[in-house]
Amino acid sequence: MAEYAKLLEACPSQEWRTIIALTRIGGLRCPSELKQLRWSDINWQEKRFVVRSPKTEHHEGQDQRTVPLFPELRVELEKHFSPDSEFVIQGLQGTSWVLYGLFQKIADKAGLGTIVSPFINMRRSRSNEVLRKHGSQLESLWIGHSEKVMEEHYFDLEDEDFLKAVGG
């Protein structure tokens, strides 16, 4: 989360802060799920939003998922909200959505250096946080993959797991 804060601080615009928040806090796939997210998908009152998932839409009932509007994410979305725009990330509509180079400039400005696969790694970090706080079933529902995929590709053992196991 310390790196997340540095990235936000280094962003050149609120749209970029929102891209990073949606990936790191919302757990969205970038760019496929970000590209489709509309303001109408966000239910501010019920504190949740719908994510359309091109990657999993071929599985029955997995064309979309509902994700909590986590407080850290809500802050960035509220700052970015534009009633005149259809899409949350409006500025990139009609472009190639090649974001790595732009992201790397933000990471450099934040003093983080080169980050390999940044969007996958931010999503992975969020997956682990949600897993530890809410369990594997909710992690799979909110991040948008099966528990098997989570175990094989997302879960990372951390020092705190060992400390917790030994009562430290």
Identify the CATH number of the domain in which residue 138 sits: 1.10.443.10
Is the pTM of the predicted complex or chain greater than 0.75?
A: yes
Distance between CA atoms of residues 74 and 12, nearest Å: 19
Residue 140 confidence class, pLDDT cut points 50, 70, 90: confident
Instruction: For residue 57, give its domain range.
Output: 2-165
* Count of domains observed in the chain: 1
Tokens of 93: 């509509």
Cα Rg for the chain, rounded, in angstroms?
Answer: 16
Name the residue with tokens 């997995």: 62
Mean pLDDT of 135-151: 71
- What's the burial of 41, exposed, middle or buried (CB within 10 Å: 0-12/13-18/19+)? middle
Q: What H or E segment, with its residue span, contains residue 42?
A: strand 42-43
> What's the pLDDT tens digit per position in 23-60?
999 999 999 999 999 999 999 999 999 999 865 555 56
User: Do the Cβ atoms of 54 and 130 come closer than 8 Å?
Assistant: no
